Amino acid sequence: MTYAFLKDLRNLSVVVLHPLDDEGLALTEHLRRIGCAPQLLWPVPDKLPRHTDILLVAIVDDQRDALRRLFRNMGNPTPTILAIVSYENLATLQLVLESGAMAVIGRPIKPFGLLTNLAIARNIWCQTQNLARDARRYKRKVNGEQVVSRAKTILMAARGIDEDQAHRDLRAQAMSRRLSIEAVAEEIISTASAR
């Protein structure tokens, strides 16, 4: 992952939401040195630039409402988020949690550890995306199996056949019509419901 991340770092769109001060400029410059092409933005916009891959965001007290609005407006999937905090208190922690940050960078920002935090946060983000994709796939599979099972029950009751024969009939219809077995099962359920 680390080598692939370092190789792809130049292709990732990095946005830094940080006041336009010496610290924000130094952070942006360090990101350039490690291979990113960061875009420094302030004040907090309502939406991020399209295709933002990584977001480093300063959690600033007087920008809480703007930050909450931004976090609500982020698309799905959200970018990999690293929060930059000055101190720990409940309000800051709440906002970091709302952001979905996968890493936290303390102030004053030091160059040491920034690349490591980026790599770890991006790795966690990639794993989370893979898990979400797998969960969607398994959910579709389970839903499809439930639909097929219901259609088989309808066929068994209507035709007086056993489960194996009902499954063979479903499969034969699907193959002859070049549809998925789930699509044929949904038609059978719809037809039975309409009666």
Q: At what angle do helices 114-159 and 163-177 cross, to 10 degrees?
A: 110
CATH 1.10.10.10 fits 134-194, yes or no: yes
Q: Can you give 1-33 as a three-state secondary structure string?
A: CHHHHHHHHHHCEEEEECCCCHHHHHHHHHHHH
Read off the pLDDT of each residue in 124-137 and give the average, rounded to a whole number. Answer: 88
Superfamily covering domain 2-112: Response regulator (3.40.50.2300)
Q: How confident is the model at residue 83 (pLDDT cuts 50, 70, 90)?
A: very high
Q: What is the DSSP letter of 113?
A: T
pLDDT of residue 1 exceeding 70: no
What value does the mean pLDDT take over residues 64-88?
89
For position 139, what pLDDT does the model report?
Answer: 92
Per-domain residue ranges of the chain:
2-112, 134-194
Average pLDDT of span 176-181:
92
Q: What is the pLDDT of residue 61?
A: 84
Largest Cα span, the chain: 79
- Given a cut of 90, is residue 17 above it in pLDDT? yes
Average pLDDT of the chain is: 88
Position with higher pLDDT, 119 vs 45: 45
DSSP 79: P
Query: 85 and 109 in contact (C-beta within 8 Å)?
Result: no
Average pLDDT value for residue range 10-30: 90
